[in-house]
């Protein structure tokens, strides 16, 4: 890990107005995440996890505070700057996969590379590598509807990794999966942190996920409530 | 038994019903507006058409003139005298009155109510006037209505009186001609140059002199009185009544001279008849079948005309006229029903789409309600209450407006629309709520996933097969049996059950076309995607991927293609009828203007034609002798076609330079025919009585009949199908000089040139005929309905496009937002959105009008449009390309507007909100 944090969140406030009611989703949230680590964001429904991820990824703008990703102030970027940020540095994994149904698994993984206008040969090589990484090389030509939920989420993770982002934001990636499949997806994310050096910030209710994280950050009513994650993650002796 | 089956009472949550209604007031009001508008059209069209049909029946009967009269005749009581002679019967007029009353009683109440008071007529034989070189005929006639004969003013002399003062006189059969007194109209008297006291020089068919004396000269008090129509020669000479080149004169008998008229001719030569003219205003379409049936019964009950008894013998074309009118009405009604069925089908599809949009908006609420424990029957009942209130009240408004705008209202056609509006939303909503409580996870088992896909495909194929089979059956039925009622007695304005299938043919055809495109569009989209994947442009890939993802959406394409095809069909129908009317006007008049020259001015026709030809703006002038009901013999059969004697070359030029169909066979009329002395003729016949190759004879007064040889098929002249055309020069060479009575004129100045010619002639202008045909009740009604249907269908198509865009908007912007999380720029997102919206619109814009044209080609024949346009054959479909193009442009313009508007509206949405809504 480098000494400079990859992600720096400072004094972020976010309020939502629903009719006469104002909901404080984030109240002065500040924290840093070091590069190459896996951080679990935990909290009850409505605690502000997704809002925080959205603010970090530039999908939402905070009312106050700053977010820096690899030294770039996300909150100061215009739409084109945010688009560039998402192409180059930040990627997402959603609960509902979000794959393009008419494209094969390989073509879905290649989508960000097309967006970044990566040369075809390089694109194919990268896709092949990622499908190998997620264990779906044999399913490259299959469409999402022909894959199980876990396989679809794996493809979504591979797609998120395609453009070699520095930060991967995963919003409850196992929410639609059964426990066993969810565990395999979590293990995959953990493996990716190890093998790709990507920084992963994942919101979850899953205790197993928390156990796999280097660090657990709790959110309660918009406040940060960092807590010990038990013993830090240690790879199994036979893990590569 | 499931729990909900055991429940007997629904637990309705009224605040939810009200809340959902308030939240979705926009879509609900839109649904109501569609239902109200279509209910207005469907409610008003049938009564308007029924009123037009009643007018059409009356119009047809008026146009038929004396053909629609009911005529009854009976033989006289024999007048044999006690000494072997004939007895003068002084009470003959009273006998005639009794005969008239007897005939009236026999009509029956319904037919009696539909006819004007009867007029009894007594006609003598056709006698030949012997004082001139041109053939002229004479007939004496007695007319008597309930109030006596027609009023006349005697200008000279006196009314006809009895020949003898001793009323009961017997005269020998071989005695001298019995004298009879008649009155002459002043026009006839002038033409014959005779006056009171003069004897009219006439002989009967066997060359025997008849003693007819003029008692006085009269002028009719009202020459338009119905009685005169039975014997127009009593007013003025009538040309052509007894053959080509002849002129008929007539003398008026009185009650006093009638007994003498009987003795003046042979015993069986004086015919008594009673004529009943129809009263058009009393006729309605509903009554036509019963009236026609009554006329047929009277005719069937008639004694034979060769019997010597005095039984009533009925003759009338009224049954045929009524049946023709009724057939036209049935055809128009069926044509209107086809259009309405199309509009209703499109409306039902749009309502399904609106329900789809509504349910997509409500899915989160319904899912939440279901997850909170609401039972499906309760949710379904709540939705049904809401949709029923909306649909029924909207339909009531539409039907009330229809009642205000039309002479009645028909609710039958509104039923499918109300049902669709009431049922679609609750059905979709209940299904959405049911899905919320199902496990939505994709099965991990590949075989299970394949099974789910196969089941879905099988369901879809079954529905498509059902529609296809129904469409094939509908088209087969339509083409084999047509749209007219099979049972002539069941020829009423109500559509019978056996017509439902053929009437649905158009709508089903449009649906099948849409289903075919629905199968092809995904294939095309996938092909485009494969091509795009080879390109280096990411937008092409994502646009094509978005198109391929959404290409299989059923309802939007069904709505777009069906509405566009049906709107195109309606436009084609309107254009075909409009063109058909124009062609019919050309056919009826034969040129831009026609002069029908009176008999006394025939000699001036050639000079008149030269004057017209010299007028500015006149292009062609063709002179002809046209004789209706000319007597032509085919072997021993008497035929009565329209005889046209014309300068062939000029006539051919006229046909070649106008919208009239060319007749290349005309050249055969002037081609040399070595060996035979027969005059070549072209013939045309509706029933095959006149055929090419058959020998014909044209009788003439002096000399043997002229032999004609039918050498080819004649064009229709004046809209008549029974025609014989002969070259004027050839006929003159054969010994029959031409007395031209018709002048056809073309050119922009034709109308002005034929007006004020100073010659007694009737002017018929093509523009006037066309105008009259356009405002004729049925044609005007149908054309108006066709344009209205086209506009409504186009509006439904555009509404469908908007609804489809709105229904898919949430999903589309979810996808676009996910692409933006991959780095897609905001300004590029609209091109990807266009990738979804444009393909179905482009496909519809191209294929919809083509499908409409195909449907027109398949269905216009069985629709019997010729019955409305007055053409000889079914009109070919006229494709108004600029109107069809306008439909396509309207769709493309709407799609081109939807994309940027939607982008502008969605730009305000934060990406996080879009993604959150999707999760």
- DSSP string computed for B652-666: HHHHHTSSSPP-GGG
**Residue reference for tokens 């002539």:** B488
Query: How far is the CA of B773 from the CAs of B60, B329, B715, B751, in angstroms?
Result: 12, 15, 22, 18
Nearest neighbour of A114 by CB, restricted to B443, B538, B818: B538
Picking from A55, A59, A74, A175 by the largest number of B CB atoms within 10 A of its own CB, the best residue to mutate is A59
- Residue A3 pLDDT: 55
| CB-nearest partner of B919 from A86, A91, A95 | A95
Name the residue in chain A with its Cα closest to that of B818.
A98
Nearest CA in chain B to A102: B549
Q: How far is B457 from chain A (nearest CA, A)?
A: 14
The Cα of A27 is separated from the nearest Cα of chain B by a number of Å equal to: 18
Give the angle subtended at the CA of B873 by the CAs of B871 and B875, to the nearest 5°. Answer: 80
Closest-CA distance, A124 to chain B, in angstroms, reads 12
Q: Please give the residue of chain A at the shortest CA–CA distance from B527.
A: A102
DSSP reduced 3-state for B185? strand
Question: What was the pLDDT predicted at A104?
Answer: 92
| A229 pLDDT above the threshold of 50 | no
Task: Indicate the angle between helix axes B554-589 and B777-821, nearest 10 degrees.
Answer: 150
Residue from the list A86, A147, A178 with its beta carbon closest to the beta carbon of B822: A86
Q: What are the Cα distances from residue B800, in Å, to B34, B357, B432, B559, B899? A: 11, 11, 21, 6, 15
Q: Does the CA dihedral B181-B182-B186-B188 come out positive or negative?
A: negative
Closest Cα of chain B to A239: distance in Å? 27
3-state secondary structure of A71: coil
- Backbone Cα Rg of chain B: 38
Q: Cβ separation of B910 and A60 shorter than 8 Å?
A: yes
Where do the H-state alpha helices sit in B677-825? 728-733, 750-754, 766-774, 777-821
Residue A153: its H or E element: helix A149-162
Angle at B343 (CA atoms; ends B342, B346), nearest 5 degrees: 85
Residue in A83, A96, A146 closest to B823 by CB: A83
In terms of Cβ atoms closer than 10 Å to its own Cβ (0-12, 13-18, 19+), residue A99 is buried
| Closest in B820, B915, B916 to A83, CB measured | B820
Please indicate whether, in this complex, the C-beta atoms of B823 and A87 are within 8 angstroms of each other. yes
d(CA B651, CA B671): 15
Alpha-carbon distances, residue B693 vs A81, B35, B649, B711, B731 (angstroms): 91, 62, 22, 6, 18
Residue B499 DSSP label:
G
Contact yes or no for B822 and A112 at CB 8 A: yes
B33 to chain A, closest Cα gap in Å: 31
Cβ within 8 Å of residue A138, ≥6 positions away: none
Residue A96 forms contact with B (CB below 8 Å): yes
* Disruptive mutation site among A52, A63, A100, A174 for chain B (greatest number of B CBs within 10 Å): A100
Give chain B positions within 8 Å (CB) of A117: 536, 538
Q: Which two tokens stand for residue B634?
A: 């085919």
Collapsing DSSP to helix, strand or coil, B304 comes out as: coil
What's the pLDDT at B473? Answer: 93
**Mutate which of B530, B818, B906 to test chain A, going by most A C-beta atoms within 10 A?**
B818
Q: Which of B444, B820, B916 sits opposite A50 (nearest CB)?
A: B916
Of B442, B525, B911, the CB nearest to A59: B911
Ranges of residues in chain B with a pLDDT under 50 are 1, 488-492, 917-919
Q: Which residues of chain B have a CB within 8 Å of the CB of A115? A: 538, 819, 822-824
Is there a contact between B379 and B431 (Cβ–Cβ < 8 Å)? no
Closest-CA residue of B relative to A98 is B818
| Token pair recorded at residue A22 | 């104002």
- Strand-pair category, A38-42 with B136-145: unpaired
Residue B762 phi, psi dihedral angles, 5° rounding = -90, 130
Residue A220 half-sphere exposure, CB side, CA atoms within 13 Å? 4
A183: confidence class by pLDDT, cuts 50, 70, 90: confident
Query: What tokens does A158 get?
Result: 């591979």
- The pLDDT score that the predictor gives to residue B758 is 65
* A-B contacts (CB, under 8 Å): 99
Q: How far is CA B730 from CA A210, B150, B625, B672, in A?
A: 113, 45, 13, 10
Distance CA B501, CA B476 (A): 10
> Hey, where are the domains in chain A?
1-78+199-229
Question: What b/e string do you get for B126-163 counting C-beta neighbours within 10 Å, with b at 16 or more?
Answer: bbbbeeeeebbbbbbbbbbbeeebbebeeebbebbebb
B831/chain A closest Cα distance in angstroms = 14
Residues in chain A with CB shorter than 8 Å from the CB of B542 are: 100, 111
CB nearest A114 (choices: B541, B910, B916): B541
The answer to whether A102 contacts B526, with C-beta atoms less than 8 Å apart, is yes
Q: Cα torsion for B730, B733, B736, B742, to the nearest 10°?
A: 40
DSSP annotation of B211: E
Do residue B815 and residue A107 have CB atoms under 8 angstroms apart?
no
Cα dist from B510 to B90, B566, B793, B864, B888, whole Å: 75, 7, 12, 20, 16
Q: Record the tokens describing residue B107, joined without a space.
A: 């009509």
User: H-helix or E-strand containing B4?
Assistant: helix B3-6
CATH number of A1-78+199-229: 3.40.50.300
pLDDT value for B760: 62
**CA-CA-CA-CA torsion sign (A96, A102, A105, A111):** negative
Residue B689: Cβ-neighbour burial (10 angstroms; 0-12, 13-18, 19+): middle
Please judge whether B449 and A145 are an interchain contact, meaning their C-beta atoms are less than 8 angstroms apart: yes
| A chain contacts of residue B825, beta-carbon cutoff 8 Å | 79-80, 83
Strands (DSSP E) contained in B386-522 are none
Residue B80 DSSP code: B
Q: How far is A97 from chain B (nearest CA, A)?
A: 10
Three-point CA angle B129, B130, B131, nearest 5°: 105
Q: How far apart are CA B773 and CA B580, in angstroms?
A: 10
Question: Chain B contacts of A87, Cβ < 8 Å?
Answer: 822-823
Contact list, A78 vs chain B (CB under 8 Å): none
Per CB distance under 8 Å, which residues of B are interface residues toward A? 441-444, 446, 449, 453, 525-526, 529, 533, 536, 538, 541-542, 545, 548-549, 814-815, 818-826, 910-912, 915-916, 918-919
**Which residues of chain B make contact with A95, given a CB cutoff of 8 A?**
919
Query: In this predicted model, what pLDDT tens digit does every residue of B350-379 receive, in sequence order?
Result: 999 999 989 888 888 888 888 777 888 888
Three-state DSSP class for residue B763? strand
Distance from CA of A150 to the nearest CA of B (A): 8
Determine the residue among B912, B913, B916 to mutate to test chain A binding: the one whose Cβ has the most chain A Cβ atoms within 10 Å.
B912
**Residues 130-169, chain A, touching B (beta carbon < 8 A):** 145-150, 152, 159, 163
Q: How far is B442 from chain A (nearest CA, A)?
A: 6
Distance CA A192, CA A165 (A): 12
- pTM beyond 0.90: the answer is no
Q: Which residues are CB-neighbours of B543 under 8 A, at least 6 positions away?
A: B532, B831, B832, B834, B835
Cβ of A54 within 8 Å of Cβ of B912? The answer is yes
Length of chain A: 240
CB contact under 8 A, B821 and A107: no
pLDDT at site A1: 44
For A131, B257, B699, B837, the CA distances from B896, given in Å and listed in that order, are: 39, 87, 74, 9
The number of residues in chain B equals: 919
Taking an 8 Å cut-off on Cβ atoms, the answer to whether A83 and B824 are in contact is yes
String of DSSP letters for B530-547 = HHHHTSS-HHHHHHHHHH
* CB contact (8 A) between residue A92 and residue B821: yes
Phi, psi angles (nearest 5°) of residue B27:
-60, -35
Residue with tokens 């006469």: A20
What are the tokens at B587? 């056919």
Calculate mean pLDDT across residues A4-13.
Answer: 89
Is A86 close to B453, i.e. CB distance below 8 A? no
A92 vs chain B: nearest CA distance in angstroms? 7
Residue with tokens 């020069």: B729
CA dist B699 and B707 (Å) reads 9
Residue B167 has what pLDDT?
66
């Amino acid at each position: 890990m480098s000494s400079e944090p990859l992600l720096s969140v400072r004094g972020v406030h976010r309020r939502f107005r629903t009719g006469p009611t104002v909901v404080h989703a984030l109240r002065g949230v500040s924290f840093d995440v070091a590069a190459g680590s896996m951080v679990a964001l935990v909290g009850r429904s409505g605690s502000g996890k997704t809002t925080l991820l959205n603010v970090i990824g530039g999908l939402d703008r905070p009312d106050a505070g700053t977010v820096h990703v690899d030294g770039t102030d996300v909150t100061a970027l215009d739409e084109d700057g945010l688009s560039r940020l998402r192409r180059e540095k930040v990627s997402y994994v959603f609960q509902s996969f979000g794959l393009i149904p008419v494209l094969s698994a390989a073509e879905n993984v290649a989508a960000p590379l097309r967006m970044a206008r990566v040369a075809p040969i390089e694109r194919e090589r990268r896709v092949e590598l990622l499908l190998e990484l997620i264990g779906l090389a044999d399913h490259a030509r299959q469409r999402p509807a022909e894959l199980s939920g876990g396989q679809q989420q794996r493809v979504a993770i591979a797609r998120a990794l395609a453009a070699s982002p520095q930060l991967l934001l995963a919003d409850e990636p196992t929410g639609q999966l059964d426990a066993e499949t969810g565990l395999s997806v979590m293990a995959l994310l953990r493996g990716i942190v190890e093998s790709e050096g990507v920084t992963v910030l994942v919101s979850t209710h899953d205790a197993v996920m928390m156990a796999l994280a280097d660090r657990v950050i709790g959110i309660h009513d918009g406040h940060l409530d960092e807590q010990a994650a038990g013993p830090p993650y240690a790879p199994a002796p036979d893990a590569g | 038994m499931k729990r909900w089956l055991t429940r007997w009472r629904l637990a309705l949550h009224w605040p939810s019903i009200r809340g959902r209604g308030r939240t979705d007031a926009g879509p609900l009001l839109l649904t109501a507006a569609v239902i109200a508008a279509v209910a207005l059209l469907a409610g008003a069209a049938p009564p308007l058409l029924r009123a037009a049909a009643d007018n059409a029946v009356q119009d047809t009967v008026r146009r038929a003139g004396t053909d629609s009269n009911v005529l009854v005749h009976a033989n006289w009581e024999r007048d044999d005298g006690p000494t072997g002679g004939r007895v003068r019967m002084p009470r003959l007029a009273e006998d005639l009155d009794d005969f008239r009353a007897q005939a009236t009683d026999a009509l029956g109440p319904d037919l009696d109510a539909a006819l004007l008071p009867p007029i009894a007529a007594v006609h003598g034989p056709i006698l030949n006037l012997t004082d001139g070189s041109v053939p002229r005929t004479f007939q004496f006639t007695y007319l008597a209505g309930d109030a006596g004969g027609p009023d006349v003013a005697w200008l000279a002399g006196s009314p006809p009186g009895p020949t003898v003062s001793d009323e009961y006189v017997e005269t020998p059969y071989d005695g001298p001609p019995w004298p009879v007194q008649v009155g002459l109209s002043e026009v006839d008297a002038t033409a014959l140059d005779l006056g009171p006291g003069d004897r009219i020089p006439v002989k009967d068919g066997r060359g025997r002199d008849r003693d007819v004396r003029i008692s006085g000269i009269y002028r009719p008090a009202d020459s338009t009185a119905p009685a005169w129509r039975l014997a127009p020669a009593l007013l003025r000479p009538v040309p052509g009544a007894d053959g080509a080149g002849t002129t008929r004169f007539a003398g008026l008998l009185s009650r006093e001279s009638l007994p003498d008229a009987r003795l003046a001719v042979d015993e069986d030569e004086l015919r008594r008849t009673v004529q009943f003219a129809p009263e058009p205003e009393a006729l309605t379409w509903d009554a036509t079948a019963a009236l026609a049936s009554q006329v047929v019964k009277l005719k069937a009950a008639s004694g034979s005309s060769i019997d010597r008894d005095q039984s009533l013998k009925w003759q009338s074309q009224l049954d045929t006229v009524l049946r023709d009118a009724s057939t036209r009405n049935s055809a128009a009604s069926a044509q209107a029903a086809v259009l309405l069925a199309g509009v209703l089908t499109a409306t039902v599809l749009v309502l399904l789409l609106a329900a789809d949009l509504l349910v997509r908006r409500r899915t989160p609420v319904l899912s939440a309600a279901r997850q909170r424990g609401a039972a499906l029957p309760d949710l379904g009942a709540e939705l049904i209450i809401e949709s029923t209130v909306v649909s029924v009240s909207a339909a009531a408004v539409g039907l009330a407006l229809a009642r205000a705008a039309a002479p009645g209202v028909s609710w039958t056609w509104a039923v499918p629309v109300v049902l669709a509006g009431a049922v679609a939303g609750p059905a979709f909503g209940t299904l959405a709520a049911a899905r919320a409580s199902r496990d939505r996870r994709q099965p991990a088992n590949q075989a299970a996933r394949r099974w789910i896909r196969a089941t879905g495909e099988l369901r879809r194929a079954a529905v498509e097969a059902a529609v296809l089979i129904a469409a094939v059956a509908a088209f087969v039925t339509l083409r084999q049996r047509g749209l007219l009622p099979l049972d002539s007695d069941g020829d009423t304005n109500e559509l019978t059950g056996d017509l439902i299938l053929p009437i649905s043919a158009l709508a089903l055809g449009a649906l099948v076309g849409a289903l075919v495109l629905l199968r092809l569009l995904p294939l095309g989209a996938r092909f485009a995607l494969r091509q795009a994947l080879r390109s280096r442009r990411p937008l092409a890939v994502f646009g094509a991927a978005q198109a391929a993802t959404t290409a299989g959406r059923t309802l939007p394409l069904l709505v777009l293609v069906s509405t566009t095809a049906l709107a195109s069909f309606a436009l084609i129908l309107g254009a075909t009828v409009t063109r058909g009317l124009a062609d019919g006007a050309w056919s009826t008049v034969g040129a831009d203007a026609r002069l029908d020259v009176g008999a006394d001015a025939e000699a001036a026709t050639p000079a008149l034609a030269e004057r017209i030809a010299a007028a500015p703006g006149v292009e062609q002038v063709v002179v002809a002798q046209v004789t209706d009901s000319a007597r032509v013999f085919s072997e021993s059969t008497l035929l009565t076609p329209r005889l046209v004697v014309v300068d062939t070359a000029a006539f051919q030029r006229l046909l070649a330079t106008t919208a009239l169909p060319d007749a290349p066979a005309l050249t055969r009329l002037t081609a040399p025919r070595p060996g035979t002395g027969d005059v070549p003729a072209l013939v045309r016949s509706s029933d095959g009585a006149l055929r090419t190759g058959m020998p014909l004879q044209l009788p003439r007064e002096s000399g043997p009949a002229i032999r004609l040889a039918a050498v080819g098929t004649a064009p229709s002249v004046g809209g008549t199908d029974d025609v014989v055309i002969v070259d004027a020069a050839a006929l003159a060479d054969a010994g029959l000089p031409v007395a031209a009575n018709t002048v056809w004129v073309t050119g922009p100045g034709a109308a002005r040139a034929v007006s004020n010619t100073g010659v007694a002639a009737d002017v018929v202008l093509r523009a006037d005929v066309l105008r009259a045909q356009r405002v004729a009740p049925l044609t005007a009604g149908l054309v108006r309905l066709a344009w209205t249907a086209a506009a409504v269908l186009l509006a439904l198509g555009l509404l469908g496009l908007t609804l489809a865009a709105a229904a898919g908007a949430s999903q589309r912007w979810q996808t676009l937002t996910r692409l933006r999380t991959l780095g897609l720029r905001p300004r590029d997102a609209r091109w990807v959105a266009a990738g979804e919206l444009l393909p179905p619109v482009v496909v519809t814009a191209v294929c919809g009008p083509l499908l409409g044209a195909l449907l027109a080609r398949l269905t216009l024949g069985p629709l019997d449009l010729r019955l409305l346009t007055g053409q000889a054959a079914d009109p070919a479909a006229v494709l108004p390309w600029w109107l069809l193009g306008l439909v396509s442009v309207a769709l493309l313009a709407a799609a081109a507007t939807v994309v940027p508007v939607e982008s502008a509206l969605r730009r305000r949405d934060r990406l996080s909100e879009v993604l959150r809504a999707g999760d």
